[in-house]
Amino acid sequence: MDRRQIWLSLATLALFAVVPPLTVIFDQPFYMDMVARIMVFAIAAVSLDLILGHGGMVSFGHAVYMGIGAYAVGILSYYGIDNGFLQIPLALAASALIGLIFGAMSLRTSGVYFIMITLAFAQMLYFLAISLEEFGGDDGMSSMRSEFAGLIDLNDAMHFYYLVFAVLAGVLFCLHRLVLSRFGMVIRASRTNERRMQAMGFPTYRYKLAAFTIAGTICGLAGALFANLNEFVSPDVMHWTHSGEIMIMVIMGGMGTLIGPVLGATAFLLLEEYLPQWMEMAMTDAGEHWAIIMGPILIAIVLFGRGGIHALLAASLGRNGNNGSKRDD
Partner 1 sequence: MDPLLLLEQAFNGLQFGIMLFLIAAGLTLVFGIMDMVNLAHGSLVMIGAYLATTLIAWTGSFLGGLALAIPATFAVGALVEVVALRTLYRRNHLDQVLATFGLILFFNEIVRIVWGPVSLYSGLPDYLMGHVEIFPDAPYPVFRLVIIAVGLSVAAALYLIVAHTRLGMLIRAGASNNEMVGALGVNIKSLFTFVFALGAVFAGLAGMMLGPLTSVEPGMGEPLLILAFVVIIIGGIGSIRGAFIAAIVVGLVDTVGRVMLPVLLRAFVDDAAADTAGPALASMLIYILMAGILVVRPQGLFPARTG
Can you give the binding site for partner 1, defined by CB under 8 A? Answer: 52, 58, 60, 105, 108-109, 111-113, 115-117, 119-121, 123-124, 127-128, 130-134, 240, 244, 247-248, 251, 289, 291-292, 294-299, 301-303, 327-329
Largest Cα–Cα separation, the chain: 63
Closer Cβ to partner 1, 165 or 290, answer by number: 290
Closer Cβ to partner 1, 157 or 275, answer by number: 275
Closer Cβ to partner 1, 37 or 191, answer by number: 191
Q: Is the CB of residue 72 less than 8 Å from the CB of residue 90?
A: yes
Closer Cβ to partner 1, 116 or 185, answer by number: 116
DSSP category for residue 50: I
Cα–chain-centroid distance for residue 328? 21
To the nearest whole angstrom, how small is the minimum distance from the Cβ of residue 247 to partner 1? 7
For residue 97, CA distances in Å to 68, 89, 91, 211, 319 come to: 10, 12, 10, 13, 42
Can you point out the beta strands (E) in the chain?
141-142, 232-233
To the nearest whole angstrom, how small is the minimum distance from the Cβ of residue 239 to partner 1? 10
To the nearest whole angstrom, how small is the minimum distance from the Cβ of residue 294 to partner 1? 6
Closer Cβ to partner 1, 22 or 128, answer by number: 128
Q: Is the CB of residue 43 less than 8 Å from the CB of residue 171?
A: yes
Q: Is the CB of residue 229 less than 8 Å from the CB of residue 69?
A: no
To the nearest whole angstrom, how small is the minimum distance from the Cβ of residue 282 to partner 1? 15
Closer Cβ to partner 1, 27 or 133, answer by number: 133
Q: Is the CB of residue 50 less than 8 Å from the CB of residue 109?
A: no
**How far is it, in rounded angstroms, from Cα 294 to Cα 228?**
28
Closer Cβ to partner 1, 19 or 238, answer by number: 238
The secondary element (H helix, E strand) that includes residue 148 is none
Closer Cβ to partner 1, 147 or 245, answer by number: 245
Residue of 166, 163, 168, 165 whose CA lies nearest to 148: 163
Q: Is the CB of residue 207 less than 8 Å from the CB of residue 51?
A: no
Q: Is the CB of residue 87 less than 8 Å from the CB of residue 146?
A: yes
To the nearest whole angstrom, how small is the minimum distance from the Cβ of residue 209 to partner 1? 15
Residue type, 174: C
Residue type, 221: L
Closer Cβ to partner 1, 6 or 302, answer by number: 302
CA 185, 190, 192, 194 torsion: positive or negative?
positive
